[in-house]
Amino acid sequence: MNIFFFVALVLLCVVTVAAPWRVVSEDNEEQHRLLVNMTLVKNARAGGALCLDGSLPAYHLHRGFGAGLNNWLLQFEGGGWCNDLPSCLERAESRRGSTRYMTKFEVFSGILSSNASQNPDFYNWNRVKLRYCDGASFTGDAIFDNGTTRLHFKGQKIWEAIIHDLLPKGLGKARKALLSGCSAGGLATFHHCDNFAKYLPTNASVKCLSDAGFFLDGRDVSLNHTMRYFVKSLVTLQGVEKNLNRNCTSTLFFPDLCFFPQYVLRYISTPYFILNSAYDVFQFHHTLVPPSADMHGHWNKCKLDPAACTPLQIAILQAFRLDMLATLRPFAIYSGRGGMFINSCFAHCQSESQDTWFEDDSPRINDKTIAEAVGDWYFSRTRSKEIDCPYPCDTTCHNLIPYPRGQ
């Protein structure tokens, strides 16, 4: 019997379901918003660092002040991936593949907030949001051109172009720096963490944070490797393999697997913090129970509300959590400079939203918020490796179910 389902059946005997639940819109923002203007990277075209549709890449920069004047926080935007021509063509005509369709002002909240009461450790840093328009977590380097259609798979070049644009603006003299990101942006931090450190002064304190970016290479409920096959086609289409960690690609028989964080993490030397939900809703919906594995919709109600899950479905979710914790176990034990916050909320991305980052009712583990855990780790105030008890024990959760309209 497959070990995943064996564990699920064992857990089935002990799991009960009872937790408050709320559905929220992704567009829910705090009342007082900090809006930051877009900066286009005008020199990017010369180096071929272009979005899918050929438009210029961009970022949003809010300057630091006071004691944070020489400190920098860079946040990769998330937003899924594209792994074939139809999905990339569709993406190129949206804000996920073109700066032409992006909002010119972005809300800075959570880890990007400039309010000391909402973001106590990073509020006065230079904070940058890197816009995502390539569809491969800033790792691709290829062009598709059949004479009538042209797509630029230039995520790696975009990353380099933005960094080179920021270096003379003060990043090159950074004393402290944190590279972070959410979702596909969180995944990008795994692939650019050590490279980021190389751009900065040797005496700078450089660390990295992934929020909801620890995507597992796991089987779905029909025992297929749906996510693995998706990644393989993405890596091939966008010319990603040559930009993956070489220590990893030289070790694995299938080098494209190094796109998954679990295979590359051991080779990252820069201090790293992993923020993730053990029941990450994106992975729940796309890795564990993708549409192809649930053709009859048996999981539809469970995906919207765990209180509607059957005991067997809850047991399968508990087994998924155990799989994630087992995968992270070596990092948790042996990483002396690493940090973790693995909670049991049904959420995806918790650092950019104020209510999950740092509020009176924010999610907590051992009475510590995400902001406090990250700050304690970055500034080495105390050990910061927090792992939550299994669902439904955590009553501080903000269980966020995005409306079904993509990432």
| Tokens of residue 241, six digits | 């393999």
Catalytic residue among 55, 109, 113, 183: 183
Report CA-CA distances (Å) from 316 to 263, 301, 390. 24, 15, 13
pLDDT score of 8: 47
Domain 35-387 = CATH 3.40.50.1820: yes
β-strands 176-182, 71-76 pairing: parallel
Distance CA 373, CA 205 (A): 18
Pick the closest to residue 208 from 113, 353, 111, 97 (CA basis): 111
Is 84 a known active-site residue?
no
Is 296 a known active-site residue?
no
Catalytic residue among 211, 348, 362, 388: 348
Catalytic residue among 134, 280, 294, 323: 280
pTM, rounded to two decimals: 0.90
* C-alpha of 277 from chain center: 11
pLDDT score of 213: 98
The SS3 of residue 123 is: coil
pLDDT score of 148: 92
CB burial of 322-356 (b: ≥16 within 10 Å; e: otherwise) equals: bbbbebbeebeeebeebbbbbbbbbbbbbbbbbbb
Low-confidence ranges of the chain (pLDDT < 70): 1-31, 401-407
pLDDT score of 401: 62
The SS3 of residue 120 is: coil
Is 280 a known active-site residue?
yes
Query: What are the beta bridge partners of residue 25?
Result: none
pLDDT score of 398: 86
pLDDT score of 9: 43
pLDDT score of 16: 36
For the chain, how far is it from start to end, CA to CA, in angstroms? 34
189 CB burial (10 A radius; 0-12, 13-18, 19+)? buried
